[in-house]
Amino acid sequence: MGASQCSQTHPQKYKQYEDFADRTGFSLEQINNLHKRFRQLSDNTETISRENLENIPALANNPLRKQIIGAFFDKRNQHEEEVGSIQEIGFQQFLMVMSHFRPPGLKMTEEEKEAMRKEKLRFLFNMHDTDNDGTITVDEYRKVVEELMSNNDIGQEAAKAIADAAMLEVASINMPHMGPDDFYEGITFEHFEQILKGLEMESRMNVRFLDVDTSTMRCGKGK
Amino acid sequence: MEDLWSMALQGLKIWLYLLVAFIMAPAMFGFSLGISEVYMSILVKTLEWATLKIQKASRDETTLKESASNGLIQRNDSSLEKEFEELRRSRPKPPVGGDFTLSDCFYFYRGGIESIVDDEVTQRFTSEELVLWNLLTRTNNHFQYISAKLTLVYGLGVIVRYCILAPLRITLATIGLTWLVIGTSAVGLLPDWRIKYWLSEWVHVMCYRICARGLSATIHYHNKENRPKKGGICVANHTSPIDIVILCNDGCYAMVGQIHGGLMGVVQRAMVRSCPHVWFERAEMKDRHLVAKRLRDHVSDKTKLPILIFPEGTCVNNTSVMMFKKGSFELGGPIYPVAIKYDPKFGDAFWNSSKYSMVQYLLRMMTSWALVLNVWYLPAMHQQEGENAVQFANRVKAAIATQGGLVDLQWDGGLKRGKVKDSFKEQQQKQFSSMVVGDDSSNSD
């Protein structure tokens, strides 16, 4: 497929890519392409900072860009046991975050698919749980709603009302025996999974990475 | 020692005579000796051979797999509304009113990641990736040793480019510029007879032709009957400062720009003596109304040369056309669009101003093989009834993009240096919020 090409041109890069491929599940071509993109975004340096991502014009239109950019710099998404946020990321961390958006492979067992789904849900959960206390509180939820709507149009009270209604819905699904005066702490990861149980994640949380390596294309003889 | 000097002087004299005979004279009088055509065909054959060598070495199955853009992902082309209908349908209806849940955010998360992986704008400000290799290391990122023969040819190419072509071109460029300054100043001294205009046009075109030879530019002009006429405005897509030399090779235009100091300033001041160009002082450029007024006056005078304007405002890498600024389309004259497309096989003409300074860029140009490009003159366009300047600008832009085979983008070229305007960001927010709140109000009881 072209893996041999890669190994011929840069043998030590190939070793590194193999390592990444094992960890993240991307193919070697995809890693090569993503590396080129990384260099484009990072202005040919070794790390990407938040500004590099904020400078992407198409991303600027996205109301949830702060959460998305934050996810790249969040240590929880690196599958190590650390928490906190970092200022700049290298290519490996970039790949780790991207790997959450891989579609499930055709040859995956049910268990692997379940595990992948849980991983994606965990990623989403981390994006909302900004203070990392294990729950999404009303305030954190409301913040997301506010970002999504433009403040001019509906005002802060309406955003609060929508957030409260949604939280109520979650509470009623997960803790049906709660009394009217009980305080609902926040959405835990289990509740989160419960809410999104029926939702088909496979087509929503996926980016279809292509396998084609654009730089090694050559013209054939004739057209 | 003496002999050496006299020999060197003799050599220099012969060199200059040859130059004048073979290059300058044709340039001055506008005919061609056919040398450049021979050069081109040899070049093309060599490049094809080099590419085949590389292919054989890497043992690829070669089929033409060219992609128009460097696509890394395959996107879903559904709009905000469609995705939301699907999302809403696929989850159970909530018992309590309120139609918003966390799953609504999925559309944006995925879109955000897709933008980070591959966006339309960032890739327009780096040089185009080539499918062939044109024996210049600067365009091949994976240069490595393949065979002795190939390296030999490449080495020969380096010698030819740097030791033969570059000095030749630098000499020509210097001659061209000097002649421009002298010639225009001389014409400026003449009183205002008819012959003055004719002479000034001739001097301008001649000097630009010499400069074009100085870059080994082979230009194919198409549809010459649509060439811009006096009292009009010529708009073109912008790839590098050389565009000016290219266009002025085939006609005389009035330039618009800021007065610089130094060598550029001398050239500018000389040019304005023989025919009216529109040069602004730095302070005047900030005053939009003043600029517009001067341009309007120039355009409405039908005896003055057509103005040359690049509405993108910045250099783009010649794979796409970015947003046209509406200022030039409000001036009232007829617009003559021109599409310029460089052939990347022979040299990369894009000026990445953040990477290279002007001098570095010119040196790069002079040490590439050649510059081959196509210029299409499009028929004149006028602003129609009920069309505002922005729509008119977009119409012209679409015409230029279609003719030149470039991608027509809505993005602003100024994004090279700045950020997206807040008004664009809020659009998506408004759309989404009207969907959620609109549903809410219909659902609440």
Instruction: For B27-75, write each residue's pLDDT tens digit.
Output: 666 666 666 667 777 777 777 777 677 666 654 433 333 333 345 666 6
Check residue B146 and give its pLDDT: 60
Distance between CA atoms of B362 and B181, rounded to whole angstroms? Answer: 20
Check residue B98 and give its pLDDT: 41
Q: Do A199 and B103 touch (CB under 8 A)?
A: yes
Q: How many CB pairs under 8 A join A and B?
A: 203
Q: Read off the pLDDT of each residue in A197-213 and give the average, rounded to a whole number.
A: 67
Largest CA distance in chain A: 78
Nearest to A58 among B51, B120, B436 (CB): B120
Find the range with the poorest average confidence among A113-117, A159-163, A212-216, B396-400.
A212-216
Q: What angle do CA B48, B51, B52 make, to 5 degrees?
A: 85
- The ipTM value here is 0.74
CA quadruple B314, B319, B321, B323: dihedral sign: negative
Work out the pLDDT band at A59, boundaries 50, 70, 90: confident
Q: Is B355 on the interface with A (CB under 8 A)?
A: no
Residue B299 has pLDDT above 80, yes or no: yes
Q: Is A54 on the interface with B (CB under 8 A)?
A: yes
Check residue B133 and give its pLDDT: 54
Nearest to A57 among B411, B426, B433 (CB): B411
Nearest to B122 among A56, A210, A215 (CB): A56
How much of chain B, in percent, has pLDDT values that exceed 90?
A: 2
Q: Under a CB-based contact definition with an 8 Å cutoff, are residues A170 and A191 in contact? A: yes
Answer with the residue of higher pLDDT: B111 or B84: B111
Q: Do A41 and B120 touch (CB under 8 A)?
A: no
Answer with the residue of higher pLDDT: B326 or B37: B326
Q: Read off the pLDDT of each residue in B348-354 and give the average, rounded to a whole number.
A: 76
Q: Read off the pLDDT of each residue in B81-106 and give the average, rounded to a whole number.
A: 56
How many Cβ atoms sit within 10 Å of the Cβ of residue A157? 8
Check residue B36 and give its pLDDT: 67
Residue B203 has pLDDT above 80, yes or no: yes
Q: What angle do CA A51, A53, A55 make, to 5 degrees?
A: 70
Q: Read off the pLDDT of each residue in A40-58 and give the average, rounded to a whole number.
A: 82
Q: Under a CB-based contact definition with an 8 Å cutoff, are residues B222 and B376 in contact? A: yes
Here the tokens at position B7 are 């020999």
Check residue B142 and give its pLDDT: 47
Check residue B76 and give its pLDDT: 55
- Rg of chain A's alpha carbons, rounded to an integer? 21
Q: Do A59 and B119 touch (CB under 8 A)?
A: yes
Work out the pLDDT band at B221, boundaries 50, 70, 90: confident
Residue B445 has pLDDT above 80, yes or no: no
Q: Read off the pLDDT of each residue in A159-172 and give the average, rounded to a whole number.
A: 74
3-state secondary structure of A182: coil
Work out the pLDDT band at B338, boundaries 50, 70, 90: very high
Residue A23 has pLDDT above 70, yes or no: yes
Q: Read off the pLDDT of each residue in B249-259 and give the average, rounded to a whole number.
A: 83
Residue B112 has pLDDT above 50, yes or no: yes
Q: Closest Cα of chain B to A82: distance in Å? A: 23
| Selection from A77-86, A193-202, B338-347 with the highest mean pLDDT | B338-347
120-139 of A, contacting B, C-beta below 8 A: 124, 127-128
Q: Read off the pLDDT of each residue in B381-386 and give the average, rounded to a whole number.
A: 85
Q: Is A150 on the interface with B (CB under 8 A)?
A: yes
| Selection from A22-26, A202-206, B390-394, B430-434 with the highest mean pLDDT | B390-394
Work out the pLDDT band at A21, boundaries 50, 70, 90: confident
Q: Under a CB-based contact definition with an 8 Å cutoff, are residues B153 and B46 in contact? A: yes
Check residue B145 and give its pLDDT: 58
Residue B316 has pLDDT above 70, yes or no: yes
Work out the pLDDT band at B97, boundaries 50, 70, 90: very low
Please, which residues have CB within 8 angstroms of residue A27's CB and are 6 or more apart in sequence?
A: A21, A211
Check residue B240 and give its pLDDT: 85
Residue A126 has pLDDT above 50, yes or no: yes
> Per-residue pLDDT tens for B114-147?
778 777 666 666 666 555 555 555 544 445 556 6
Residues in chain A: 223
Nearest to A218 among B55, B116, B120 (CB): B55
Check residue B220 and give its pLDDT: 85
Work out the pLDDT band at B201, boundaries 50, 70, 90: confident
Here the tokens at position B88 are 């809403």
Q: Do A165 and B98 touch (CB under 8 A)?
A: yes
Q: Read off the pLDDT of each residue in A76-88 and give the average, rounded to a whole number.
A: 75
| Selection from A107-116, B100-109, B306-315 with the highest mean pLDDT | B306-315
Here the tokens at position A32 are 């090569």
Q: Do A162 and B121 touch (CB under 8 A)?
A: no
Here the tokens at position B157 are 């190419």
Check residue B377 and give its pLDDT: 92
Work out the pLDDT band at B12, boundaries 50, 70, 90: confident
Chain A residues with CB inside 8 Å of B67's CB? 212, 214, 217
CA-to-CA separations, B213 to A29, A90, A108, B210, B346, in angstroms, rounded: 43, 47, 62, 5, 15
Find the range with the poorest average confidence among A58-67, B22-31, B342-351.
B22-31
How much of chain B, in percent, has pLDDT values that exceed 70?
A: 70
Q: Under a CB-based contact definition with an 8 Å cutoff, are residues A21 and A6 in contact? A: no
Q: Is B78 on the interface with A (CB under 8 A)?
A: no
CB-based contacts of B298-303 (< 8 A; 24+ apart in sequence): B298/B254, B299/B231, B299/B232, B299/B233, B299/B331, B299/B332, B299/B333, B300/B231, B300/B332, B300/B333, B301/B231, B302/B230, B302/B231, B303/B230, B303/B231
- Burial (CB < 10 A; 0-12, 13-18, 19+), residue A122, is middle
Count the alpha carbons within 13 Å of A210 in the hemisphere toward its beta carbon: 15
